[in-house]
Structure 1
Amino acid sequence: MAAELGSEYDVIVEGHPGRTSVFDDPIEGSHKNGQAALPALLESHRPIDLVIVMLGTNDLKARFNVAAHDIALGVERVVLDIRRSDCGAAGAAPQVLLASPVPVIEAGIFKEIFAGAAQKSQALPALLRTVAERQGVAFADMGQHATVDPVDGIHLDAAAHGAIGMAMAAAVLDSLT
């Protein structure tokens, strides 16, 4: 994404393996809660023009036992917190680009951890699109551009990362122009 956008854009990556939207993870730790980490991330990088939110995959873990609708509501909480922040230009809120993650498949070493996740992940794009519309933020469905690696059903291979980078760059340009 950064290469496609060019040097005029400063892309700050704040992805964290295992991050959830709003859930403390009882196995991997409470530091995986995206909503809890958000204020420090926003303040440490201010002013921010655009925040890209792509959460929900880890919320699909069987240990959380939540419906796709509830995952979308959790992601919406994160979007609301960004829109209420003063971390954008001149103390305003930054713009938000809500990206739906790539749907998962139940395979490989994560099959049990993500039991029941495939069907829920197929429902997320439409639910997250509704959240974006309700909140008046931009939306991009990354499942339209890439698929997960069938080896583990969750992660992306190099080609999928490249496809998402290109799609995300286009979505960023659409959001900021």
Structure 2
Amino acid sequence: MKIMTAQTAMGLQEVKRWHTRRVDREQTVASHTASLIGIALILAKPYNLNPNDRCDLVELALIHDAHETEYGDIPYPTRMKFLELGFDLDLIARKAFWGGIDPYDMVMPHVAVLVDVADAVEAAMWSQDNAPKVAPSAVARALELSQALNNEVQALVLEMLGIRPEVDQ
């Protein structure tokens, strides 16, 4: 597998997210990645990960969108439509970028799930502040993905999204 280069890391600053949606401010993949790492670490606390899994969590969170420096940010509706047709564009782009390897396959499944949930939570949190028309579907996706995690992590997700179970649900 090729390695993350400094040029790729710096290139994440140039890739815009949400480029097909009206947003109050722009977000780059680098900004998204930095926030996602923090969210992933918070969500992982209840699991008390061993040092190797914790390192893998941070590394996967860091590189999960590195392929976008070459292929751009694939809009969520486009990815979903192609998934319905049997094509996982994100997986195809990741494998093409990383020389046929998917970094998600290089970590333990619970680490990959934590990164996926953190990715969705970051998108939901960001859209709540900056893309209100997209926020309801982003929040719904984060809540759906968080169902794969334990109750303590689900409670953290609700808190991050500003949802109080006894009032909002």
Shorter-chain TM-score above 0.5 = no
Greater strand share, structure number:
1
TM-score between the two structures when normalised by the length of structure 1: 0.31
Instruction: Pick the structure with more helix per residue.
Output: 2
- TM-score under structure 2 length normalisation: 0.31
